[in-house]
Amino acid sequence: MVEKDIQNDEKDNRVRNWSWIVYPESAPENWRQLLDETGEKWIESPLHDKDINETTDEIKKPHWHIIISFTNKKSYKQALYISEMLNAPEPK
């Protein structure tokens, strides 16, 4: 019964749109090509290299925001695979 509830929870948490932060210092050189090869629609923000951490007043590490709009709903575990491919933090 518990396993069935876990499966239902995972199905309920599947969504089409996931986002990531990609850091130039850790992303593979061909990260855009890797995203293209998924066959899914994606978009990247301009490089954020002047963002300031409001808590410390320090400049944040340069990064891009990436959003992928999948054809079908994807689970967190499936989105995590993209994170690993990009050497990026967890998807949101």
In tens, the pLDDT along 20-59 reads: 999 999 999 999 999 999 999 999 999 999 999 999 999 9
Mention every residue, 6+ apart, whose C-beta is less than 8 A from residue 76.
10, 13, 91
What SS3 state is found at 63? strand
3, pLDDT greater than 80: no
**What pLDDT does residue 11 have?**
55
The arrangement of strands across the sheet holding 15-22 comes to 15-22, 64-74, 41-44
Domains and CATH numbers, the chain: 13-51+60-86 (3.40.1310.30)
CA nearest neighbour of 92 among 6, 28, 20, 34: 20
**What pLDDT does residue 73 have?**
96
- The pLDDT of 61-90, averaged and rounded, is 96
**What pLDDT does residue 7 have?**
52
